[in-house]
Amino acid sequence: MAVPLRSSTQVSSERFEETISGENRIEELSGSELGSEDEYEDMGTATPEEQANIAYLDSVRIPIKEDLATSTSITQDETLKVVLPFLEGNPNDFPLNSHGISQLQRKRHVVYLEDALDDYPSGYAMMDASRPWIIYWALQGLTALGEDVSEHQRRVAHTFSLAQHPEGGFGGGYGQYAHMACSYAATLSMATAGGEATYESINRKTMWQFLGRMKQADGGFTMCQGGEEDIRGAFCAMVVLSLLNLPLELPKDAPARGQGLTTFTDNLGEWVSKCQSWDGGISAAPGNEAHGAYAFCGLGCLSVLGPPKETLNKYLNIPLLVHWMSSRQCSPEGGYNGRTNKLVDGCYSHWIGGCWSLVEAATTTGIWNRAALGRYVLAAAQDKKGGLRDKPGKRSDAYHTCYNLAGLSAAQHHYVYDEGVNKGLGEVGLGAPFRWKVGGIYHEDAIWDSSDVVGKIHPVFVIPFRAVFECRKYFEDKENF
């Protein structure tokens, strides 16, 4: 892709240098100043797609900068230097779609994720406790790319039968203590792989007892016995209870019963409410700094608890949350950061991008740029070696592959909460998440072609819709544990 005269990279990078050099800041930021007509004529033989990319970046303003350099402003400047070339040009030499953006490299990512499900060298031993996560990220990423993962059913069931703790819940592997995050990732993995034998390998009664031991008197959940209480626990517990159709009554021996609680949902909405911080975001626990990953957990938890329109509006200040979420979309990068004054990162394509689906079911509309997010994922987050990444210069991994793709799906699909969906399923007991459907795919003003559209992903459970409905149906049809 040779661009004679003046490459797109040069055009915007020069402006970027000018901007960070500190002179004429305000003038440079005033829209039309960013690109004169002459410069477009200058681009000579640049293709229409390349010209469109340059025009796009010229329309995206670099925020007003102060003279004071801090470690925050310095790392942000360095980040723009590594990201911009991928938005302006095509350093990966990927084939481009009809909008001049890198096509979704399905094959490379499928090979990458299949490999992530394979053996690991000894250096990865420290990752052993994260095995359920790695399996979940890989399986979920593969389904987002359109792959059938049912061939992995037996391996998945076997792996998790070893990681299941005799007293309930899942650990990272054989002999490890049960943990909320492992139980969440294990449940999602098994639901995604599907199949009766896989479902039957889950001991739902001891899982229910494990979750009962995690419930706290203030309404929240701990991550493990004696461990930290945070909003991940609240979300993971709700996901497992709902997908496995477990009873909402606390087990007889649940410690929280001693403090007057009787159900898993007692005081839960109130506890999540306390996690919304002064700036509108949601934090791990009351009083902490708001963060994208915890925002998704909070919204997900409330979206399991009941219809988002009811629960989100009841327990959260939505206008303030929308302001905080909108502020997370980085300009000109297009992707999201996870918290104020931090850097764009592909995983927040989901942790924040995915929040919009839930928030938009509770209020009229979100305030975000779907195309800009898609642009970041396709142009900057795809790794030439396969898999997706935090940002250019970082290695791809299963986590960033899964959540970049989930975020891309959120940008591309209109996920709709509809009371009329799935009549007969989820009529009692945490049934709200079974009311979602796809309303349509965004194509107008989009920067993706049909072949760049990833699969539909359930906005609360972040696994395929089919897996969600089949799993819940299977456990609704069972008489008891």
User: Residues with catalytic annotation?
Assistant: 291, 339, 342, 345, 347-348, 390, 397, 400
Minimum gap (Å) between residue 162 Cβ and K ion: 31
Shortest distance, CB of residue 231 to ligand FPP, whole angstroms? Answer: 8
Shortest separation between residue 351's beta carbon and ligand FPP, angstroms: 6
DSSP H or E segment with residue 437: strand 436-441
Q: In angstroms, rounded to a whole number, what is the distance separating the alpha carbons of residues 340 and 93?
A: 33
Please answer whether residues 274 and 288 qualify as being in contact, where contact means their C-beta atoms are separated by less than 8 angstroms.
no
What angle do the packed helices 131-144 and 106-116 form, to 10 degrees?
Answer: 160
* Of the candidate residues 345, 360, 383, 397, the single one contacting ligand FPP (CB under 6 A): 345
User: Which of Zn ion, ligand FPP, K ion, none binds 297 (CB below 5-8 Å, type-dependent)?
Assistant: ligand FPP
* Whole-number Cα distances in Å, 148 to 6, 139, 153, 186, 277: 45, 9, 11, 18, 41
Write the single-letter amino acid at 213. R
The helix or strand, by DSSP H or E, that contains position 350, with its residue range, turns out to be helix 348-351
Residue from 50, 345, 360, 452 touching Zn ion (CB under 5 A): that is: 345
CA 137 to chain centre: 11
Rule CB under 6 A: is residue 291 a binding residue for ligand FPP? yes
Contact 188, 242 (CB under 8 A): no
- In the complex, least distance from residue 118 CB atom to ligand FPP, rounded to whole angstroms: 24
Residue span 66-105 as binding mask against Zn ion, x where in contact by CB under 5 A, dash where not: ----------------------------------------
Alpha helices in 60-128 (DSSP H): 71-88, 106-116
Nearer to ligand FPP, 104 or 234 (CB): 234
Which of these segments, 28-36, 91-99, 121-129, 336-344, binds ligand FPP (CB under 6 A)? 336-344
Distance of closest approach, residue 333 Cβ to Zn ion, in angstroms: 13
Nearer residue to ligand FPP within complex by CB, 15 or 232 = 232
Residue 188 CA to residue 207 CA, distance in Å, equals 14
Nearer to ligand FPP, 160 or 448 (CB): 160
CB of 345 to K ion, least distance (A): 4
383 binds K ion (CB under 5 A): no
Taking CB within 5 to 8 Å according to partner kind, which of ligand FPP, Zn ion, K ion, none is near residue 160? none
Cβ–Cβ < 8 Å for 352, 359 = no
Residue 65 tokens read as 């900068």
Residues in 292-321 that interact with ligand FPP by CB under 6 A: 293, 297
- How far apart are CB 377 and ligand FPP at their closest, in Å? 16
With H, G, I as helix, E, B as strand and everything else as coil, classify residue 248.
coil
What is the distance between the alpha carbons of residues 307 and 275, in angstroms, rounded to a whole number? Answer: 20
Q: Using the minimum distance from each CB to ligand FPP, give the nearer residue, 264 or 294.
A: 294
Instruction: Candidates 112-120, 230-238, 317-325, 446-454: pick the segment binding ligand FPP (CB under 6 A).
Output: 230-238
**Residues of this chain, 343-362, that bind K ion according to CB under 5 A:** 345
Residue of this chain nearest to ligand FPP (CB atom): 293
Let me know: does 429 contact 247? Beta carbons within 8 Å: yes
By CB under 6 A, is residue 181 in contact with ligand FPP? yes
The footprint of ligand FPP on this chain (CB under 6 A) covers a number of residues equal to 11
Count Cβ atoms within 10 A of the Cβ of residue 420 and give its class: 0-12 exposed, 13-18 middle, 19 or more buried.
exposed
The residue within the footprint of ligand FPP, chosen from 338, 346, 353, 455 (CB under 6 A), is 338
Nearest CA among 238, 232, 117 for reference residue 179: 232
Give the shortest CB-376-to-K ion separation in angstroms.
Answer: 14
Q: Does 112 bind ligand FPP (CB under 6 A)?
A: no
291 binds, among Zn ion, K ion, ligand FPP, none (CB under 5 to 8 A by kind): ligand FPP
Contacts 24+ apart (CB under 8 A), 210-213: 210/165, 210/167, 210/168, 210/169, 210/178, 210/183, 211/168, 211/169, 211/183, 211/237, 211/240, 211/241, 211/246, 211/264, 212/250, 212/251, 212/253, 212/254, 212/256, 212/264, 213/168, 213/254, 213/255
Cβ atoms of 164 and 218 within 8 Å: the answer is no
360 vs 390, which CB is nearer to Zn ion?
A: 390
Q: Residue 472 interacts with ligand FPP (CB under 6 A)?
A: no
| Interface pick for Zn ion out of 101, 178, 211, 347 (rule CB under 5 A) | 347
Taking CB atoms, the residue at the shortest distance from K ion is 345
- Interface residues toward ligand FPP, by CB under 6 A: 181, 232, 235-236, 291, 293, 297, 338-339, 342, 345
- Interface residues toward Zn ion, by CB under 5 A: 345, 347, 390
- Interface residues toward K ion, by CB under 5 A: 345
